[in-house]
């Protein structure tokens, strides 16, 4: 048969990547053992080095994919010319709450691995372009000019939106023990926030 498209889903290489993603996301680079990944993938340890040379190289592939996926979503929304700025806020809040609900380890994984920027990751990401050249950026400028938004720096805007959206997931371990909150309750709370965050952002941005 063709060797290229031979059920890539279950190829050894893909199994290792999938396992690496799972373990790295959950435990981070330093706490992850290559043997953990091999076991999770159900493969011989040596295959990890056979396909990816080293733990570090495998990690760099995973984190680049993870961060790219995270940013891409926002990029799409920010560059949609058909939606208002209000609608963009709704979409970002809603999309990220759904996304992080499915992959709850991603925010703390990304932020903790970037803390010393060891992988030089940030340089590889065109986030600045994404924001500064975005339709959102222009819409924000217009809204400021028209006095509909008080704070002129779009950075505050995006940071507030992401903070309100992402921070609860980061604080979840605390909430669960401290507040006795279970997964269902947390999930319900985040669903509420899909509607609350756009309302809050709107109110904040008009405030002065």
Q: Which does 135 bind (CB under 5 to 8 A by kind): DNA, its own copies, none?
A: none
Q: Site size for DNA, by CB under 7 A?
A: 20
Q: Which of 19, 20, 32, 96 binds DNA (CB under 7 A)?
A: 32
CA distances from 11 to 1, 8, 47, 48, 59 (A): 14, 5, 12, 13, 19
Q: Which of 42, 69, 152, 163 binds its own copies (CB under 8 A)?
A: 163
Nearer to DNA by Cβ, of 59 and 96: the residue is 59
Please, what is the angle between helix 12-31 and helix 34-41, to 10°? 150
- DSSP classification of residue 9: G
Q: What are the CB-based long-range contacts (under 8 Å, 24+) for 81-90? A: 81/135, 84/139, 85/136, 85/139, 85/140, 85/143, 86/198, 86/202, 88/136, 88/139, 89/161, 89/197, 89/198, 89/201, 89/202, 90/194, 90/198
Q: Minimal distance in Å, beta carbon 29 to its own copies?
A: 8
Contacting range for DNA; rule: CB under 7 A; set: 45-53, 96-104, 132-140, 184-192: 45-53
Q: Which does 1 bind (CB under 5 to 8 A by kind): DNA, its own copies, none?
A: DNA
Q: Does 119 bind DNA (CB under 7 A)?
A: no
Q: Which of 18, 28, 51, 86 binds its own copies (CB under 8 A)?
A: 28
Q: Minimal distance in Å, beta carbon 20 to DNA?
A: 11
* Burial 139-172, CB ≥16 within 10 A → b, else e: bbeebbeeeebebeebeebbebbeebbbebbeeb
Cα angle for residues 30, 35, 41 (degrees, 5° grid): 110
Q: Does 199 bind its own copies (CB under 8 A)?
A: yes
Q: Which of 123, 146, 147, 184 binds its own copies (CB under 8 A)?
A: 123
Residues that bind its own copies (CB under 8 A): 26-31, 105, 108, 111-112, 114-117, 122-123, 125, 127-128, 131, 151, 155-156, 159-160, 162-164, 166-168, 170-171, 173-180, 189, 193, 196, 199-200, 202-204, 206-208
């Amino acid at each position: 048969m063709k060797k290229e498209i031979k059920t890539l889903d279950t190829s050894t290489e893909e199994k290792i990547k999938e396992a690496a993603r799972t373990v790295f996301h959950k435990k981070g680079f330093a706490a992850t053992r290559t043997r953990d990944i091999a076991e999770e993938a159900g493969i011989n340890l040596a295959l990890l080095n056979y396909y990816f040379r080293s733990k570090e190289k495998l990690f760099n592939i995973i984190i680049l994919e993870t961060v790219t996926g995270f940013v891409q979503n926002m990029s799409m929304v920010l560059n949609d010319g058909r939606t208002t700025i209000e609608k963009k806020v709704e979409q970002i809040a809603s999309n990220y709450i759904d996304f992080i609900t499915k992959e709850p380890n991603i925010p703390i994984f990304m932020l903790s691995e970037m803390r010393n920027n060891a992988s030089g990751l940030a340089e590889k990401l065109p986030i600045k372009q994404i924001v500064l050249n975005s339709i959102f950026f222009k819409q924000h400028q217009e809204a400021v000019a028209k006095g509909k938004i008080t704070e002129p720096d779009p950075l505050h805007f995006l940071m507030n939106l992401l903070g309100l959206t992402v921070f609860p997931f980061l604080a979840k371990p605390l909430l669960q023990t401290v507040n006795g909150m279970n997964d269902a309750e947390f999930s319900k709370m985040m669903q509420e926030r899909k509607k609350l965050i756009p309302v809050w952002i709107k109110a904040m941005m008009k405030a002065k």
